[in-house]
Structure 1
Amino acid sequence: MAYECTDGGTGAGVAEPGASDSLRTFGAVVQALREHAGLSREEFGALVRFSKHTVASVEQGRRMPDRDFVERAEEALGNTGALRKAAPHLSRQAGLASWFRQWARLEATAISLYTYECRVVPGLLQTEAYARAVSLNVPPLPDPEELEERIAARMARQELLAVTRKPPTAFSFIVEQAVLERWTGGEAVTREQFDRLLGVIEGNWNVEFQVMPLRQPSHAGTDGPMRLAETPDNQWFAYSEGQQNGRLIAHAKEISLLQQRYAKLRSQALTPEDSLGLLKRLRGAL
């Protein structure tokens, strides 16, 4: 079951997609089946183990339902097969920042994805509360509808992490310790974000997570964040992003340079084991 990648996932100034006809139709069917079963959104949410707000977002066509939602909804609503058969055909409108669209298409089918981030927790690893805080921190402030669409798109994008994808994508994340200790959104948001990181690291064997320590005299990433992606036919692409712009990189020489830098960053960051230990200590201190 495929779900389209829809979100840049880093800064707040990236335009997000709106609801598509397919999402609105799917949501209307969910709502009709739920009401036919005599369930409130809160009651249905308890059955599918999602919040009533998530249920509302799906029913209103603002959120791409992930595999767990579809399967649990089928069970809760009589196993008609309608939701399961409709889910592979769901898509969002383009709605991405123009500079991110090509990368999003590559990322959705990549077999390897490497991310170095020095600004925020990568979008694939953000909680809903953290994504909201990031979106509200950077002017201009989005209107409420845009904010909800942005967050929904970011959460839907996290389907890429699933180990059940065929083949599952191999992820490497390197994140600056300063990003983790910034407390974006406050203590409660940070606590939840640490729990999310720990859950992904310990529960997804396809994810490697490393922390770049605060003190590292030799640092290969001082030119800023970077992403690298390997396609199913083993071609490599790269992406760099700044203020209100981004650049897809396809030139072999540039990609080779960024691969060298990423390899160096991996050797300079804490090991995955030490990174996990640091995360647990930071979480325990909250």
Structure 2
Amino acid sequence: MVNIEDAGAEIGGGEPEVSESLKTFGAVHKALREAAGLTQEEYAEIVDYSVHAIAKLEQGRRYPQPKFILLAGEVLGAPKVLRAAARNLTRKQGLASWFQQWAGIEEEAVSLYTYECRVVPGLLQPEAYIRAIFERRLPPLTEEQIERQVQARLERQRLLTEAPNTAFSFIIEQALLERRLGGVAVTRALIDHLLDQSSRRNVEIQVMPLVQHDHPGFEGLVYLAESPDHQWFGYIESQDSSVLVADPKQVSSMLQRYGKMRSQALNCQDTTDLLEQMRGAL
């Protein structure tokens, strides 16, 4: 379990700033790839990553996982160079490199499970809802900061279209929709967006009803990801700390809680019916 305090960003609310050390690693990686005579497309196929993921890594916007560093070193014939570059990666002063690490796990995942009780999950937020969130952040953000955060969130959402073989499961508390954050127009856009995303073959959205007497979600949000080699990771956060969970016993507990909530929430068809009913009442 990795605990990072004062990270400066969150999955539901913020996105990471670009770390200089990550930018340096990305530049070194790009130089080695080009020296090997490989385009991003050719290289992505060899290492079995998406072109988008390679581009983000070389821009310094993705934290490289240890196994990727080893693989890249072998493919590019420079294991010592990449290991040396990776040693300089920093995690301080609000750079939110913990988010970079989770984002890397998220992008590689074959299954992603999300239970949210604070805001609608970042991957499902339409632009109007994203803006409503960042416009209400405290301390207040500047217009430039808001725009940067909005674009970063929209960029992250490409995962839904670029990972068609990943199974996405979302459980959302009905109260988040009833709250009407940002007003009626924003809520209308949000519900329309949820209905649109739920039509994807690999996306399952379930609403947890307002009344549920036997509900294990009182322990808070749950984010779970299954890696290509079928290892599960968990992620949880509060206002002051964030935790990346790798211990199998702890992840198993999170999976149990998620499984029970999945059985308690409205099924996909009932969720669609509720969303359409709520949309019609606006």
Same topology, TM > 0.5: yes
- Report 1:235-250 matches (<5 A): 235-250=231-246
TM-superposed CA distance for 1:97, in Å, is 1.7
3-state DSSP of counterpart to 1:222:
helix
Output the CA distance in 1 between the equivalents of 2:152 and 2:125: 12
Out of 213, 218, 223, the residue aligned to residue 214 of structure 2 is: 218
Letter in 1 for 2:12: T
TM-superposed CA distance for 1:143, in Å, is 1.6
Match in the other structure for 1:276: 272
TM-superposed CA distance for 1:245, in Å, is 2.3
Match in the other structure for 1:260: 256
Output the CA distance in 2 between the equivalents of 1:262 and 1:89: 31
- Report 1:60-79 matches (<5 A): none
The 8 Å contact of residues 53 and 107 in structure 2, kept in 1 or not, is answered as no
The 8 Å contact of residues 234 and 246 in structure 2, kept in 1 or not, is answered as yes
Question: 1:129 aligned to 2:128?
Answer: yes
Task: Point out where structure 2 has 5 or more consecutive residues left out of the alignment.
Answer: 1-8, 24-50, 62-93
Output the CA distance in 2 between the equivalents of 1:9 and 1:256: 21
What percent of counterpart residues are identical? 51
Match in the other structure for 1:28: none
Q: Taking structure 1 as the reference length, what is the TM-score of the superposition?
A: 0.69
Match in the other structure for 1:119: 118
Question: 1:93 aligned to 2:60?
Answer: yes
Output the CA distance in 1 between the equivalents of 2:225 and 2:256: 14
Task: Point out where structure 1 has 5 or more consecutive residues left out of the alignment.
Answer: 1-6, 22-85
**What do the CA deviations read for 1:228-258 (whole angstroms, capped 9, x no partner)?**
0000111100000110421000001000101
Output the CA distance in 2 between the equivalents of 1:180 and 1:195: 12
The root-mean-square deviation of aligned C-alpha atoms, in Å, is 2.3
Q: Taking structure 2 as the reference length, what is the TM-score of the superposition?
A: 0.70
Match in the other structure for 1:154: 153
TM-superposed CA distance for 1:100, in Å, is 2.0
Output the CA distance in 2 between the equivalents of 1:99 and 1:10: 14
TM-superposed CA distance for 1:281, in Å, is 0.5
Match in the other structure for 1:233: 229
- Report 1:52-67 matches (<5 A): none
3-state DSSP of counterpart to 1:276:
helix
The 8 Å contact of residues 160 and 169 in structure 1, kept in 2 or not, is answered as no
| Structure 1 pair 244–101 and aligned structure 2 pair: CA distance change class (3 A) | farther
Match in the other structure for 2:198: 201
The 8 Å contact of residues 125 and 197 in structure 1, kept in 2 or not, is answered as yes
Match in the other structure for 2:170: 173
TM-superposed CA distance for 1:8, in Å, is 4.6
**What do the CA deviations read for 1:244-274 (whole angstroms, capped 9, x no partner)?**
4210000010001010000000111111111
Output the CA distance in 1 between the equivalents of 2:106 and 2:195: 23
TM-superposed CA distance for 1:98, in Å, is 3.5
Output the CA distance in 1 between the equivalents of 2:196 and 2:170: 15
Output the CA distance in 1 between the equivalents of 2:204 and 2:189: 20
Letter in 1 for 2:55: L
| Structure 1 pair 9–253 and aligned structure 2 pair: CA distance change class (3 A) | closer
Letter in 1 for 2:60: Q
The 8 Å contact of residues 106 and 112 in structure 2, kept in 1 or not, is answered as yes
Out of 185, 189, 193, the residue aligned to residue 186 of structure 2 is: 189
**What do the CA deviations read for 1:153-183 (whole angstroms, capped 9, x no partner)?**
1001111111x53x62100000000001111
TM-superposed CA distance for 1:17, in Å, is 4.2
